[in-house]
Amino acid sequence: MFTGLIQSLGTVAAIAATASGNRILIRPDSGGSMPELGASISVNGCCLTLAAVDGGAFVFDVIPQTLALTTLGTFVVGARVHLEMSATLSTLLGGHLVLGHVDGIATLHAVSTAQGERRFTFDVPIGVEDAIISQGSITLDGVSLTIAKVHDARNFDVCIIPETLARTTFAEWRVGTKVNLEADYLAKLVAKIVAQKLSRQA
């Protein structure tokens, strides 16, 4: 489990095809203590298991299921990524509860700047429409954000402050950029319960 507060940026150092998918090496920007093998680390919002450490780079084995359902299958050497270590019972929950289970891939449709904020408009991946709520939480490439506006069942806005732009790769995003989206777990849970109750009443 994570909080959606990015702890470090990293760079994809190498990608190698294996019999079970891809082995991806990511070199974190910051030093700090090295996590133990088997630790859960969020890479652009996707929970991965640390398989090894190679010269300071984190090594992950990513299976075809993950490659197909996330943007990790489009990684190239040199790509910049968001990293977050898993939360503990003493971790300050500055964002929201993030599982690292990607619900879908969202595409950036528009970017605008006004009054010191940068506003990003994304599409809504099929299957999570009911969990996209104005002023609710959303995770984009591992970053905990607040939904500023829901235009309709297919589009929503998030507003990014300068501090977030400085600590993430958001400043590099352009129209057409694809990101991993995880809807708020509590919103998904409520939506599922309501849908089940309504189906029983039909």
Angle at 173 between CA 81 and CA 65, to 5 degrees: 50
The answer, yes or no, to whether residue 76 has pLDDT greater than 80, is yes
| Rounded distance between C-alpha atoms, residue 137 and residue 158, angstroms | 10
pTM of the model: 0.91
- CATH value at residue 26: 2.40.30.20
Residues 18 and 75 in one domain: yes
Residues 65 and 120 in one domain: no
Per-residue pLDDT band for 89 (boundaries 50, 70, 90) equals: confident
The answer, yes or no, to whether residue 9 has pLDDT greater than 80, is yes
Q: Is residue 96 part of a domain?
A: no
114-156: pLDDT as tens digits: 777 899 999 999 888 888 999 999 999 999 999 999 998 789 9
The answer, yes or no, to whether residue 31 has pLDDT greater than 70, is no
Residues 51 and 119 in one domain: no
Residues 108 and 197 in one domain: yes
* Domain hosting residue 14, numbered range: 8-85
Q: Is residue 99 part of a domain?
A: no
| Lowest pLDDT segment from 19-28, 29-38, 56-65, 106-115 | 29-38
pLDDT at 202: 64
Q: Is residue 95 part of a domain?
A: no
Domain count, the chain: 2
Provide mean pLDDT across the span 45-53: 97
Closest CA to 7 of 119, 67, 82: 82
pLDDT at 93: 79
Residues 12 and 81 in one domain: yes
Residues 44 and 133 in one domain: no
Q: Between these two residues, 200 and 108, which has the higher pLDDT value?
A: 108
